[in-house]
Amino acid sequence: MKTKKIIPHLGFWQIWNMNVGFFGIQYSFGLQQTAVNPIYTFLGAHAEQLPILNLAGPITGLMIQPLIGAISDKTWSPKWGRRKPFFLLGAIFCSIALFLFPFSSAIWMAVGLLWVLDAANNTAMEPYRAFIADKLPQEQQTFGFQMQSLFVGAGITLANLSLFIFQKYLGGNASGGGIPVWVYYSFFLGSFCSIASVVWSVYKTPEIPPSEQELEELIKFKEGSTFFTPFIEIFSAIRDMPKLLWQLALVYLFQWYALFCYWQFITPMLKLSLYGISESDEQKADKIIKLAKSGVFVVEKDMSWAKNVLHLVEVAVGQTGLMNGSYNIITMVSALLLVPFAKKFTSKNTYIFCLCITGLGIMALPYIKNEYLLLVPMVALGIGWASMMGLPYSMVSPSIPPEKRGVYMGVINMMIVVPMLIQTISFGFIYKTFLNDNPSLVIVLTGFLFLIAGACVMLMKPEEKKYE
């Protein structure tokens, strides 16, 4: 008879140390949110090309996370553990890709490095979700996943604020046709944080070893496994997936489609709403600067206008970093504060509330013309982001078989990347055909999609109770 494994309660600092590695992973993710799309535009990409240029995220997530999850479920090393080898390997390649990224000399090079970066991030991130469920008893899992949300906020905050600070104090002059020097510093800092934070967690946190019975099962599994076994495990998990996870998939369809729209179009929106710069203005200014650099005579008035436009474009990138950094500060502050609310009002009701205020806050952004007032809706987005990074996992974790945590955490990530894949393929057409190439309309649509996601959470029926 299979005995139930006793999982001990952990103290605050033990849970803290085991999640520190998420900081470096999320710094990288923060740069992808804020800096990658501006880098594409610095290298000459047009706004309607941004969705397809971000195809790496959904494709690597779709392929790698469930595969790594299935493999890690059946892995055990007395020295390295079950999950830690994967997020350590991912962090190493992530660090290398971050270091090289700002040296991109063409769009194809930046796209290639984004594929490497996304693959590494997914290799590191997937086992981390299962790691929490492995190490914590059910009554501590909400706290554990919200602690991850705290480090999500911390990592992305540093990434975004580094862009704002480096742009303000170490750069700001329009370069025209290339990546500004100040961008390099943020990526170098991320390269260090990625590997250093994961090494800390690997060193500080031992994994729970399998019982003798579990070891015997792992040995039998390896003896009978083939190259196709992990893929069979994934398809089997999807076939037998609990109903609650299918309900979460509907929520994620709208939530993550919306988030990808926000990350791609918030900077173009700011260029237009704050500074009145359209994409055609930016392209014209870039052309003037390049002509001047090539030796062609340019009227001084046109040259001055072009420099000012490209300077404001860089300022918009810095403003994006400030806004995204601000909402991630709120994520840090609110992540653990959501735990008592989830206990009293249930994770489901807390999640619904957070998604709704996020939607309303984002819808207001195009109508705010002051760079500091734009930080007010970031409070709502920060609270929403904290809930998205923790509450769904604590809601569905009790429904997941313990021996399949890795593969099901990978399947949950498939629910994230499929909407992203749909967005990258479909939104370029939607942007040009239905939204008149207007990034402000994209942001309004994004807020509306969050409201739909909140309505979809109402259909979920997780096994949870309120604690007075």
Amino acid type, 349: N
* Each residue's pLDDT tens digit, 391-445: 998 899 888 887 787 788 878 888 988 898 888 889 989 998 999 889 999 999 9
Across the chain, what does the average pLDDT equal?
85
Q: Which of 88, 69, 304 is nearest to 196 (CA)?
A: 88
| Amino acid at residue number 353 | F
Under the banding of pLDDT at 50, 70 and 90, the label for residue 171 is low
pLDDT in tens, 365-380: 999 999 999 999 999 9
Q: Judge whether residue 155 has pLDDT over 90.
A: no
Question: Rounded to an integer, what distance in angstroms lies between the CA atom of residue 113 and that of residue 109?
Answer: 6
pLDDT of residue 26: 84
Look up residue 232 and give its amino acid.
I
Residue 387's pLDDT band (cuts 50, 70, 90): very high
pLDDT for the residue 384: 96
Nearest alpha-carbon partner for 272 in 81, 435, 463, 457: 435
The answer, yes or no, to whether residue 208 has pLDDT greater than 60, is yes
Q: Is the pLDDT of residue 3 over 60?
A: no
Average pLDDT (216-238) is 78
- pLDDT value of residue 217: 75
Between CA 348 and CA 342 the distance in angstroms is 8
pLDDT of 77 higher than 90: no
The pLDDT tens digits of the residues spanning 23-70 come to: 888 888 888 777 887 788 778 887 778 778 888 877 887 788 788 877
Tokens, residue 114: 């984004």
pLDDT in tens, 82-138: 888 888 888 899 999 999 988 888 888 888 999 998 888 888 877 777 888 788 887
Check whether 175 has a pLDDT greater than 50.
no
Q: What is the CATH T-level fold of the domain 13-208, as seen in this structure?
A: Growth Hormone; Chain: A; (1.20.1250)
Nearest alpha carbon to residue 90 among 21, 18, 160, 183: 21
Position 178 scores a pLDDT of 65
- Token pair, residue 436, equals 């008149």
pLDDT at 392: 92
Mean pLDDT of 312-325: 83
Residue 177 has pLDDT above 50, yes or no: no
Query: Which comes out higher in pLDDT, residue 215 or 282?
Result: 282
CB 445 within 8 A of CB 122: no
**Whether pLDDT at 176 is above 60:** no
Q: What's the CA gap between 27 and 220, in Å, rounded? A: 39
Angle at 334 between CA 331 and CA 337, to 5 degrees: 150
Q: What is the CA radius of gyration of the chain?
A: 22
Q: Both tokens of residue 418?
A: 């499929």
Domain chopping of the chain, boundaries: 13-208, 243-463
Least confident span in 18-27, 208-217, 259-268, 379-388: 208-217
Residues 358/450, Cβ–Cβ less than 8 Å: yes
Which residues, listed in sequence order, are joined to residue 422 by a DSSP beta bridge? Answer: none
CA 113 from centre of chain: 17
Residue 1 is predicted with a pLDDT of 43
**Model confidence over 268-312: pLDDT tens digits?**
999 999 999 988 888 888 888 888 888 887 788 888 998 888 888
**Same fold across 13-208 and 243-463:** yes
**So what CATH class is 243-463?**
mainly alpha
Which pLDDT score, from 0 to 100, does residue 391 have?
Answer: 92
Question: Once rounded to an integer, what is the mean pLDDT over residues 129-158?
Answer: 82
pLDDT value at 168 more than 70: yes
- Lowest mean pLDDT, pick from 161-165, 193-197, 457-461: 161-165
CA distance linking residue 143 with residue 55, whole number of Å: 33
pLDDT band at 4 (very low <50, low <70, confident <90, very high): low
Tell me the pLDDT band of 464, cut-offs 50, 70 and 90: low
CA 419 to chain centre: 13
Res. 230: pLDDT tops 90: no
Residue 124 has a CB neighbour count (10 Å cut-off) of 27
Q: Which amino acid is at 44?
A: G
Q: Is the pTM of this model over 0.85?
A: no
Yes or no: say if 301 and 119 are a contact pair by the CB < 8 Å rule: no
Q: How confident is the model at residue 454 (pLDDT cuts 50, 70, 90)?
A: very high
pLDDT higher than 70, residue 173: no
